[in-house]
Amino acid sequence: MDEVFARRDMIEPARLRALSGKSDLAGFLQVGSHLGAIAVSGTALWLTWGTWWAVPIFIVHGVLLNFLYAGQHELSHWTVFKTRALNEWFGRLFGFIVIFPRDFDQLQHFAHHRYTQDWNRDGELVRPPYTFTSYVLYVLGPTYWYYRVRRIVRFSLGIVTEPYIPEARRPEVVREGRWHAAGYIAIAVLSVVFQTWAAVILWLAPMMVTKVVHQLQNTIEHLGLAHEPNILENTRSTRTNAVMRWMAWNMQYHTAHHAFPGVPFHQLPELHNALFTEKGREPHTMSYLAFQWEVLKAFAGGRTEADFPDEEMWISDHAAKARAAKAA
């Protein structure tokens, strides 16, 4: 996706062109390090299964698996590798692992970029407003996985209800859903035939149980910001550490990414510097835990997402301080 969603005068054209260059080397370094870490944690989990050592390894392994979606996201943007086919095939592999088909992901995600925070057209807002309960269930993972699996089943049956999927593309996602279903069934059959729990131990169980860590990134990017067509007002970046930035493929620089989504993941820190740091300004930014605490407080007492004005930001460090001062 090479579309631009911010004012072009935010960065010099020559600098933007330089930052937009793709690199097979950078792509292989990131993909290799992420898959390599999963191979190490998976091996360690298998060797320690049945001992207490397996518990922390199980958590690390599951978190690494979940953050493969960060890679799939970038691969869907065609920005990880300069060689286009590598983006597609690694994207399909990652999508199969995280139960999120690539073609569907692209359609949903591009609608999200083009219509960010538009309740009627944003691909990620085809849902009812959050309540305290629905939000907690989504963050912890039960409803997240229910809808992911249900979608695969629905597509396999030829049922496509998403309004952002054009009629001409629907056979595509149906075919893709059927390939995914066939693959998952084949793994289940082979597991029964060879009487092995490997797929559950090394893949499904850790990935599903630890979804909550990945949801810290998924939820912080837009929730509680204004529903208006201005990237600087409807998107949030995240304060965190280098390990989380590596694992999330620099998606914490989310405002920069939404402004110029054609810039590869490995150039996002420099893009953030060019758009904000060097100009002495900052996008909306919070830490993971501060954000979650503010959301839970906002939904307490029976309030829902629909109780907050669409045109205003209602989750931020500033909003939290203002509420604290008012309470005092």
DSSP 130: P
CA distance 47 to 15: 49
Average pLDDT for 219-237 = 96
pLDDT value for 10: 85
In the block, tokens 């290799």 appear at: 32
Tokens of 29: 């370094």
Q: Does residue 328 surpass a pLDDT of 70?
A: no
- pLDDT band, residue 4 (cuts 50/70/90): low
Average pLDDT for 282-311 = 95
In angstroms, the Cα distances linking 69 to 99, 134, 224, 254 are: 10, 22, 23, 15
Helix, strand, coil % over all residues of the chain, rounded to 5: 65, 0, 30
pLDDT tens column, 145-197 = 999 999 999 999 999 999 999 999 999 999 999 999 999 999 999 999 999 99
Residue 17, CA atoms < 13 Å, CB-side half-sphere: 3
pLDDT tens column, 243-284 = 999 999 999 999 999 999 999 999 999 999 999 999 999 999
pLDDT value for 324: 54
pLDDT value for 6: 58
Provide CB contacts within 8 A for 259, sequence distance 6+: 4, 5, 6, 10, 231, 232, 271, 275
Provide CB contacts within 8 A for 29, sequence distance 6+: none
In angstroms, the Cα distances linking 262 to 229, 230, 310 are: 19, 18, 28
Q: Does residue 326 surpass a pLDDT of 80?
A: no
Span between the terminal Cα atoms of the chain, in Å: 48
Q: Does residue 323 surpass a pLDDT of 70?
A: no
Tokens of 231: 């990237």
Among residues 27, 5, 71, 17, which one has the least CA distance to residue 271?
17
pLDDT tens column, 111-125 = 999 999 999 999 999
- pLDDT band, residue 95 (cuts 50/70/90): very high
Q: DSSP letter string over 89-105? A: HHHHHHHHHTT--HHHH
Average pLDDT for 135-152 = 97
Parse the chain into domains and list their residue ranges. 8-327
Among residues 4, 79, 54, 40, which one has the least CA distance to residue 205?
54
- Top-confidence residue, 301 or 32: 32
Quick count: other Cβ atoms within 10 Å of Cβ 165?
18
For residues 115-140, one letter each, b for 16 or more C-beta atoms within 10 angstroms of the residue's C-beta and e for the rest, the string is bbbbeeebbbbbeeebbbebbbebbe
Quick count: other Cβ atoms within 10 Å of Cβ 277?
12
Mean pLDDT of the chain: 94
Contact between 147 and 74 under an 8 Å Cβ cutoff? The reply is no
In angstroms, the Cα distances linking 165 to 81, 149, 172, 235, 262 are: 26, 18, 10, 23, 22
CA distance 274 to 313: 25
What is the dihedral sign for C-alpha 13, 18, 23, 27? negative
